[in-house]
Structure 1
Amino acid sequence: MVLSKDELVGLLTHEVNVLRHLVSKIDASAVDSRPTEGQRSSIELVRYLVMQGPALVNAIKAGAFDGAAWGAVQAEVGAKDLAGLDAMLAEQPAWFAEHVGSMTDDEMRGVIQLFAGPATRGTYIVSLVLANYAAYRTQLFCYLKLCGQTDLTTSNLWRGLDAPPKA
């Protein structure tokens, strides 16, 4: 694998930290906001982001998608408000360190088939989990901008930090 497991866990941790930063920017008026009728609301998008990482890693480790397990996690996050979702996110870096970090190199190179063609577990973690965080947090960032958070910058999106004040 091009990335070490420690690097992969570090990237997943970074994604969670950026997401937590963006979640902190959602005010009460934006929680139920949705850009168009058919799109997720801000809180629905956050709920998906909170669940997808661990749920997909579990599926990747097992080599098969478990719809019942996905539904159970969906129900758990569906009952959470932003504070509860942030609390779940706060636990994810340690969870990734344990569950991804404990996979052997042979497990990471093991070929499985989930939603696309056959690929290694490591490839699925990068192409599904890591990519989902980046893609959907960008969507959340756009939602926030649409809701009037015009002070957000690329620093918020990519670093999870407010831009330094202008001199």
Structure 2
Amino acid sequence: MLALEGTTPLALRSAALVLAGESAVMTAETDGLALLAASVGPGADRHVPLGAREVVVPFAAAADHGAAERRSFRILLGPHNGSTRATMFVGLVRPGKASLHYHLYGEIVWTPSGPGRFHLADGGEELRAGSSFRLRPRQPHVVENTGTGVLELLGVFTPAGSPSAAYLAPDLA
């Protein structure tokens, strides 16, 4: 349950947008509360708003968008629903590995499940439930799903925009 200007049910796998200057209280009914909080500083660039604010966005209600090479994503929070400083999304990675690529934005990624592997030009590491990593803007990388099911990644990046904005690493372009 989210208390922010009233009470709003907060289903499992939902995102809540609490803006600067607001306060909110989250409480669990019976199953306990699992929370991943992300905050963005006032220095982050602001995207032009592209839609009305949504306070709570359930994962199931977020549209599925295709991305390159065995990937898709669901945007939970972004300029389309009131988050103008950052985008929060769930990346869905099918088994296999994409091309080395980069993004123009900085990103922090948390892995709720696994297995997988995170590749950088100078090495990499295994991904399992609870793993996280940070990407600087323009840092070439690959996330590989080494399992048989879908690998989920929860990402937050600034400035706000689309997770599909990916560019091939210079040696591949």
- Of Structure 1 and Structure 2, which has the larger fraction of its residues in helix? 1
How does the TM-score come out when normalised to structure 1? Answer: 0.24
- Of Structure 1 and Structure 2, which has the larger fraction of its residues in strand? 2
Q: More relative contact order in 1 or in 2 (CA 8 Å, sep 6+)?
A: 1
How does the TM-score come out when normalised to structure 2? Answer: 0.23
